[in-house]
C-alpha cells in the first residue's frame, strides 16, 4: 500500500514538472512574438488566458508556493507569467482581454506581493480604470444587498468575495474610494456586522473596512486607524 502511495506521489511530481517545463517553453514563445503577432495570437488565445488565470489563482491560494520541488523551474514560470500578464493587460483597446477580470487582478495582487503585484495592478488600473470601475460598481451593489440581508443573505459567499476585494483595494487606492463613495457600502458593512455573529464573517468585515479606510489615506500615515482599534470601536458599540 505504501509503495503505491510513493509511486503516486512520484507520478504527480513528474507530471507537475512536465507541465511546468511545457508552459515555460510556451510562455517564452509568446513573449518572443512581435507586437502584431502577439495581438493576433497571444491576446486571443483562450488556452493561454485560462492557464494564466488558474496559475495566479493557485499562487494566491498557496501564498506564493507551488506544489513542486523544482523551485528553479517554478520560479522561472512565475516570472514569465508575470511578464506575460503585464504584456497582455497593458494593451488598451476596445476589445478587452478575457484576463481583465477583477478577481484575476486580486489574485495577481496577492500572488506577487505588495511591491511587484501592486505596481502591476496600479498600471493596469490606470489603463482600464473606467472598465474596472464599472465591474467593481456591480460587485459593490451585490455586496451591499447581501450585507443588508444579514442572515437571510449568502453571507458565506460574501466572506470569499470581500476577501478578494480586500486584496485588490490594498493595491489600488482608487478601488477603496469607489467602495466608500456614498455611505451605502459602509452602512451595509455595519449592518452585516450587527446582523451576523459568525466570527470569520465579522473579522472579514473589519478587515475590509480597514483596507478601504487605509486606501483613502494612501500616501499618508494614519495614526489612529488599524484593524485592532477598528474592531474595538465596533464591538463596544452598544447598538451592535
Q: 138-175, pLDDT tens digit by residue?
A: 999 999 999 999 989 999 999 999 999 999 999 999 99
Mark residue 226 as left, alpha or beta (left: phi above 0; alpha: psi -120 to 50; beta: remaining): beta
Rg over CA atoms, the chain: 21
Question: Is residue 216's pLDDT more than 90?
Answer: no
Query: To the nearest whole number, what is the mean pLDDT of the chain?
Result: 84
Question: Is residue 61's pLDDT more than 70?
Answer: yes
Task: Give pLDDT, residue 13.
Answer: 54
Helical ranges in the chain per DSSP H: 2-32, 35-37, 46-61, 71-89, 102-111, 118-149, 155-171, 173-180, 184-195, 199-216, 227-235
Instruction: Tell me the three state secondary structure of residue 24.
Output: helix
Chain position carrying cell 484593524: 227
> Which one is predicted more confidently, 128 or 20?
128
Q: What is the mean pLDDT of residues 62-71?
A: 57
pTM: 0.82
Q: What is the C-alpha separation between 197 and 152, in angstroms, rounded?
A: 13
> Which one is predicted more confidently, 127 or 229?
127
Task: Give pLDDT, residue 62.
Answer: 83
Task: Give pLDDT, residue 18.
Answer: 67
Nearest C-alpha neighbor of 146 from the set 130, 164, 158: 158
Task: Give pLDDT, residue 40.
Answer: 94
Amino acid at each position: 500500500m505504501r509503495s503505491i502511495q510513493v509511486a503516486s506521489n512520484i507520478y504527480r511530481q513528474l507530471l507537475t514538472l512536465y507541465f511546468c517545463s511545457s508552459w515555460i517553453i510556451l510562455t517564452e514563445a509568446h513573449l518572443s512574438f512581435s507586437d502584431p503577432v502577439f495581438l493576433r495570437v497571444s491576446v486571443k488565445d483562450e488556452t493561454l488566458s485560462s492557464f494564466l488565470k488558474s496559475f495566479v489563482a493557485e499562487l494566491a491560494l498557496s501564498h506564493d508556493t507551488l506544489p513542486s520541488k523544482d523551485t528553479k523551474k517554478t520560479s522561472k514560470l512565475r516570472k514569465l507569467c508575470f511578464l506575460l500578464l503585464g504584456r497582455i493587460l497593458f494593451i488598451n483597446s476596445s476589445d478587452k482581454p478575457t484576463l481583465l477580470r477583477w478577481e484575476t487582478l486580486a489574485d495577481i495582487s496577492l500572488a506577487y506581493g505588495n511591491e511587484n503585484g501592486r505596481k502591476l495592478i496600479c498600471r493596469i488600473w490606470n489603463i482600464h480604470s473606467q472598465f474596472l470601475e464599472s465591474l467593481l460598481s456591480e460587485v459593490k451593489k451585490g455586496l451591499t444587498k447581501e450585507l443588508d440581508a444579514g442572515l437571510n443573505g449568502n453571507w458565506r459567499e460574501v466572506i470569499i468575495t470581500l476577501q478578494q476585494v480586500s486584496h485588490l483595494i490594498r493595491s489600488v487606492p482608487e478601488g477603496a474610494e469607489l467602495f466608500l463613495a456614498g455611505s451605502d457600502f459602509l452602512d451595509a458593512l455595519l449592518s452585516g456586522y450587527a446582523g451576523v455573529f459568525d466570527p470569520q464573517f465579522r473579522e472579514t468585515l473589519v478587515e475590509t473596512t480597514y483596507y478601504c479606510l487605509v486606501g483613502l489615506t494612501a500616501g499618508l500615515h494614519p495614526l489612529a486607524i488599524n484593524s485592532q482599534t477598528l474592531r474595538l470601536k465596533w464591538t463596544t458599540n452598544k447598538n451592535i
